[in-house]
A and B are shown apart, each in its own frame.
Chain A
Amino acid sequence: MEIAVISGKGGTGKSSITAALATLAKSAVLADCDVDAANMHLIMNPDIRESFVYIAGEKAVIDYAKCRSCGLCQDYCRFDAIRFGEGKYEIDEVSCDGCKLCSRICPAGAITMHKNDKSRMHTGIYRYGHMVFGRLEPGEENSGKLVAMVRSKAREMSEKSGINTILIDSPPGIGCAVISSVTGVDRIFIVTEPSLSAFSDLKRTIELIDLLGTRMSVIINKYDLAPHVSDIIEEYCREKGVEISGKLPFDEEFVHSMVQCKSIIETKPDSEAGIVLSEIWKKLLNEKIRKQISTIN
């Protein structure tokens, strides 16, 4: 069973909640798909076993020994990545999309493509099973593909180890990386918090998941920081027919446990947040059993 934890907005406590769910699962393959800012390894402190190179596209490079400064490449590039400065044509690495067109049309054959090979994917063992996480080199795009690679590695590890539960920590936003992290999963938890900005992100996230048609429910974190905004969110979810799995209070213990490289279930299982999370996990297990029974029938 693949479970994705997602939140439109960053900083809602998604990673801390994923870590708590991993603890409750007791045995789970953890896939940190927030490849832009992976941080689950800070809590789970895995023993790294394997590292893989991920090729995040290509960038054009001009060989000035061959370049005749005709400027054709600049005319063809649609990403404004080629500029004329200091007496020569230059490629702006930030803007280059790696489409290769300039390298194909350059009459002097002066442009070659260089692979972006600094991104990595790591696998390791942590205290509740296996984990895999990606690290996208700053400025390299195509995070959606790295996410897909992290997920397929997670599935492979799940099959090999016999650990059926895969927990996915999704990236923020609504772009291709998020879509890549949730397509085909069995269940999605959306973590939100009671602020108007988180609420507007939540609406966009629900819109996105609706397109995919996956079963989702919402966890409201820090609900007591603005109870009436929390009410507005609940009301909205009710209207949309999206279940609220639980509401967690703001608890500094989340931060304290993170500082100790632990999840809140490991440090304070009896806190209000800990109890609500345990209930969320129990409900999920029941869903799973019901699903199995219905497939048998």
Chain B
Amino acid sequence: MRIAIASGKGGTGKTLVATNIFYILSERGEKVTLVDCDAEEPNSKAFFNTKEISESQVIQKVPVIDSDICTFCGKCVDYCSYNAIFLLHDRRIVRVMEDLCHGCGACLVACKMGAISEKEVSLGTVSKYSVNSESTIIEGKMRVGAYTPVPVIKASIKKSNNSEIVILDSPPGTSCPFIHTVSSADYILLVTEPTPFGLNDLKLSVEIVRDMRKPFSVIINRAGLGDRGVYNWLETEKIPVSMELPFNRDLAAIYSKGEIVSAVRPDVKNKFEMLTDSVLTIWK
């Protein structure tokens, strides 16, 4: 089973939920993998004692244009949908702007002179860490300045294929990185907070997961802060709330120190135990 923990807005407690569910399952000795799909800012791993097992590069191809063969006809420029090739016909200048290139290969097809070959560049890394004999963490990390985290996210998710239970810590937002993550999940937990910002973002993410026809429920973090807007909306939309975590300074401080809240606070652990069980029974 693949469970994605997501939220439209960043900082709602997505990683808190993902790491605690993972903690509980790995304590039970389940074969479980946590995939940190927030490849721009991965930080799930820091909550655990881990040992690195492997690291691999996520590769993209970019064209290399041989200016001795190139006739400066400009066909590659026409074919490139990302404005990644700069060409001045009269001055016989051609340059590939690697940061804009998506590696689609269209220029290669366009060039009839055989002036274009390709080389590989790194978009980031996928690392695998073990927590105990059964549980692993997979972390995708985008290279600073790469044009998109999506290939790194895809590669990270792919690596988790042989695990029985996979927990996906989704990237924030509702654009491609988020969609790629949740579209590979069987069940989605949307984390929100009871504020106008939280409600606004929740509505957007609900719209998407409904479009995808994925089963989902909502977790309200920092309950007690803010207003009733989120609750009222969830009620009219008949969306189930699977857990509420109250706001309190103590929890915030534990989390800040990079500790797993469930490991320190039995009452919170109890909540996460119940949450984990309820999600797993939905699946069975």
Per-residue A-contact encoding for B33-49, CB less than 8 Å = 1, 0 else: 00000001101001000
Q: Which residues of B contact A42 (CB under 8 A)?
A: 196-197, 200
A8 to B42, CA, bound (A): 11
A37 to B199, CA, bound (A): 11
A104 touching B79, Cβ below 8 Å: yes
Query: Which one, B24-32, B88-96, B251-259, B273-281, is touching chain A?
Result: B251-259
Interface residue from A10, A98, A138, A250 paired with B10 (Cβ < 8 Å): A10
Interface of A is mostly: loop
A139 touching B174, Cβ below 8 Å: yes
A175 to B176, CA, bound (A): 12
Contact (A208, B144) CB under 8 Å given A104-B109, A139-B175: yes
Q: Which residues of A contact B204 (CB under 8 A)?
A: 37, 138
Q: Which residues of B contact A252 (CB under 8 A)?
A: 225
Q: Which residues of A contact B8 (CB under 8 A)?
A: 36-37
Contact (A76, B174) CB under 8 Å given A174-B41, A175-B40, A204-B144: no
A201 touching B179, Cβ below 8 Å: no
Number of interchain pairs (Cβ within 8 Å): 169
B109 touching A105, Cβ below 8 Å: yes
A171 to B111, CA, bound (A): 38
Query: Which one, A189-197, A235-243, A278-286, A289-297, is touching chain B?
Result: A189-197
A94 touching B179, Cβ below 8 Å: yes
Beta-carbon nearest neighbor of A13 in chain B: B11
Q: Which residues of B contact A255 (CB under 8 A)?
A: 195, 225-226
Query: Which one, B99-107, B130-138, B160-168, B237-245, is touching chain A?
Result: B99-107
Contact (A140, B109) CB under 8 Å given A11-B9, A259-B226: no
A265 at the interface (CB under 8 A from B): no
Contact (A172, B173) CB under 8 Å given A9-B10, A196-B43: yes
Q: Please, how many residues of chain A have a CB less than 8 angstroms from a CB on the other chain?
A: 57
Contact (A99, B225) CB under 8 Å given A37-B8, A138-B174, A196-B256: no
Contact (A37, B252) CB under 8 Å given A8-B41, A173-B41: no
B117 at the interface (CB under 8 A from A): no
Q: Which residues of A contact B103 (CB under 8 A)?
A: 78
A89 to B145, CA, bound (A): 34
Q: Which residues of B contact A8 (CB under 8 A)?
A: 41
A225 to B252, CA, bound (A): 7
Q: Which residues of A contact B156 (CB under 8 A)?
A: none
A48 at the interface (CB under 8 A from B): no
B258 touching A196, Cβ below 8 Å: yes
B106 touching A197, Cβ below 8 Å: no
A154 at the interface (CB under 8 A from B): no
B172 at the interface (CB under 8 A from A): yes
Per-residue A-contact encoding for B136-174, CB less than 8 Å = 1, 0 else: 000000101111111000000000000000000001111
A8 to B171, CA, bound (A): 12
Per-residue B-contact encoding for A153-192, CB less than 8 Å = 1, 0 else: 0000000000000000001111110010000000000000
Beta-carbon nearest neighbor of A38 in chain B: B200
Interface centre among B40, B175, B197, B201, by most chain A C-beta atoms within 10 angstroms, is B175
B9 touching A104, Cβ below 8 Å: no
A55 at the interface (CB under 8 A from B): no
Beta-carbon nearest neighbor of A41 in chain B: B200
- Shortest distance between the CB of A152 and any CB in chain B (Å): 17
Interface of B is mostly: loop
A100 at the interface (CB under 8 A from B): yes
Q: Please, how many residues of chain B have a CB less than 8 angstroms from a CB on the other chain?
A: 56
A15 at the interface (CB under 8 A from B): yes
Interface centre among B82, B196, B201, by most chain A C-beta atoms within 10 angstroms, is B196
A76 to B105, CA, bound (A): 8
A105 to B148, CA, bound (A): 26
Interface residue from A11, A175, A201 paired with B149 (Cβ < 8 Å): A175
B106 touching A99, Cβ below 8 Å: yes
A101 at the interface (CB under 8 A from B): yes
- Shortest distance between the CB of B39 and any CB in chain A (Å): 9
A123 at the interface (CB under 8 A from B): no
A42 to B61, CA, bound (A): 42
Beta-carbon nearest neighbor of B212 in chain A: A94
A141 touching B148, Cβ below 8 Å: yes
B9 touching A37, Cβ below 8 Å: yes
What are 25 A-B residue pairs whose CB atoms fall within 8 Å in the complex? Answer: A10-B12, A36-B172, A37-B173, A42-B197, A58-B81, A94-B180, A97-B102, A97-B104, A98-B81, A101-B106, A138-B178, A138-B208, A140-B176, A172-B10, A173-B172, A174-B40, A193-B256, A195-B258, A200-B46, A201-B43, A211-B144, A252-B225, A258-B195, A259-B227, A261-B196
A residues with CB within 8 A of B: 8-12, 15, 36-37, 39, 42, 58, 76, 78-79, 94-95, 97-101, 104-105, 136, 138-141, 143, 171-176, 179, 193-197, 200-201, 204, 207-208, 211, 222, 225-226, 229, 250, 252, 255, 258-259, 261
Instruction: Other than A173-B41, A197-B43, give 10 A-B pairs with Cβ distance below 8 A.
Output: A101-B109, A138-B178, A141-B176, A173-B40, A174-B142, A176-B147, A195-B255, A195-B256, A200-B43, A226-B252
